[in-house]
Amino acid sequence: MNKKLILILSILLALGSFSTSYAAEEPTATETIITLEEAKAKAYDNSRSLKKYEISVDKAKYQKQQTEYDYNNTLNEYNSLGSSLESNDYSESILEKMQQQYEKIESSSESVNDSENNYTDAQKEKENYRKQLDYIVEELYTNILSQEDSLQSLNKEYELKQYSLNMERKKLQMGSSSQAEVDQLAAEVIKLNRSILEQRSQIKINKGQLNDMMGRGYDEALQLTSFEVSVKVNIPEYDQLLSSATQSYYTLSQLKRDLDDLDDDLDDEDDYYQSLIIRQNIKEKELQVEDEKITISEKVNNLVANVRSKQESYQLAITNYITAQQSYEWAKKRFELGQISKLTLLQSELDYLTAKNTKAANGYALQLAQQSLMLAQEGIV
């Protein structure tokens, strides 16, 4: 290692006590404690994304009302012309106006149909997003919990490395170590400190996003309540889930609605070449329907496999956690009896924390996978 780096590390080592307190620093602000269900409820009331969907629904409703109003006016004008025709012995000018008005009625009727479809689509999109909002909040919430667990492990690893560094420095003074060993440990301490700062920054960002979603100030102090996940999972049969997903999948409903409209257009079309084009459009839509059915099948299959995989991972993580917990309890007793060193005890504690965090993270992953299945049953894949 070059002399310049050794000098820098020596200065950092001289400030070792500062580095330790800096890495172990914790927020002191009074934190609001929030449960997962409370976070979901607040997001329902305050999510700007959900409000945007609500605005889209209102706009579609007003556009629908406007087209219906225009259609009724056009129809009334047509009826009024019909009344005038009877009293004017079938005037040519009135007949011509009636023909023009009839064409307007047809066009206005199509506008009404389109606006009704747009309104139905906007309502469904809002409903689907509201269902997805549960998942979005839960994913962000559990990510924060996992990051906080990882931060706890990083702090413990930092403590272990700092202890090892101090021991190595003492060994160096007694001539039983080398400057290179000390410098290597010092570099690892610095790297861990940086990881801790980065993790805190990411937690702050994610908490800010969750705060914003819940209608709170971005920087408001927030503490999330952890929870246990049951390893028992209710996994529906593939065929049953596929049937539910297919029936509820709104994109298929839209495609089938388009097919019905094309069939109506074909019935009304007198032009030979236009009818040929409509027939090709129908074939194209039918292929899209089949593509979407295959897509749903693949996604449902992947969702079921994912839940089973996550369940197995969680069961393994629980087993490893129990083993690590027992090892740590035994290590504490052996340390009290003077049979192992503090360094060995710290390593055992770190292994325990890592196993504990892995168990929690796998549990959260399993719960999210289950939520994906529930969404799929409602056609959201």
CB atoms within 10 A of CB 328: 19
Residue 179 lies in a domain: no
Residue 318, pLDDT score: 97
Domain annotation covers residue 218: no
Q: Which pLDDT score, from 0 to 100, does residue 85 have?
A: 63
Helix (H) or strand (E) holding 76: helix 48-87
Write down the pLDDT at residue 279.
Answer: 94
pLDDT of 66 higher than 70: yes
The answer to the question of residue 151 being in a domain is no
Q: List pLDDT tens digits, range 294-344.
A: 999 999 999 999 999 999 999 999 999 999 999 999 999 999 999 999 999
Q: What's the pLDDT tens digit per position in 347-376?
A: 999 999 999 999 999 999 999 999 999 999
Of residues 314 and 18, which shows the higher confidence score? 314
Over residues 112-139, the mean pLDDT reads 93
* CATH number, position 315: 1.20.1600.10
Domain membership of residue 271 (yes or no) is: yes
Domains in the chain, number: 1
Q: Is the dihedral of CA 320, 323, 325, 328 positive or negative?
A: negative
Q: How would residue 98 be classed by pLDDT, with cut points 50, 70 and 90?
A: confident
Average model confidence (pLDDT) across the chain: 88
Rounded to whole angstroms, the Cα distance separating 68 from 111 reads 8
Q: What integer pLDDT is reported at residue 95 of this predicted model?
A: 72
pLDDT at position 86, please? 64
Question: HSE (CB half, 13 Å, CA atoms) of 51?
Answer: 9
**Residue 61: inside a domain:** no
- CA–CA separation, 148 and 223 (whole Å): 10
* DSSP classification of residue 48: H
Domain holding 362, by residue range, is 230-380
Position 202 in a domain: no
Please tell me the pTM assigned to this model: 0.81
- What integer pLDDT is reported at residue 4 of this predicted model? 44
Query: Is 334 a domain residue?
Result: yes
| H/E run at residue 243 | helix 238-248
pLDDT of residue 76: 84
- Is residue 111, in this structure, part of any structural domain at all? no
**What average pLDDT does range 181-201 have in this prediction?**
96
Closest CA relative to residue 35, chosen from 142, 123, 110? 142
Long-range Cβ contact pairs of 197-204 (< 8 A, separation 24 or more): 197/23, 199/147, 199/150, 199/151, 199/154, 200/151, 202/147, 203/144, 203/147, 203/148, 203/151
pLDDT surpassing 60 at residue 27: no
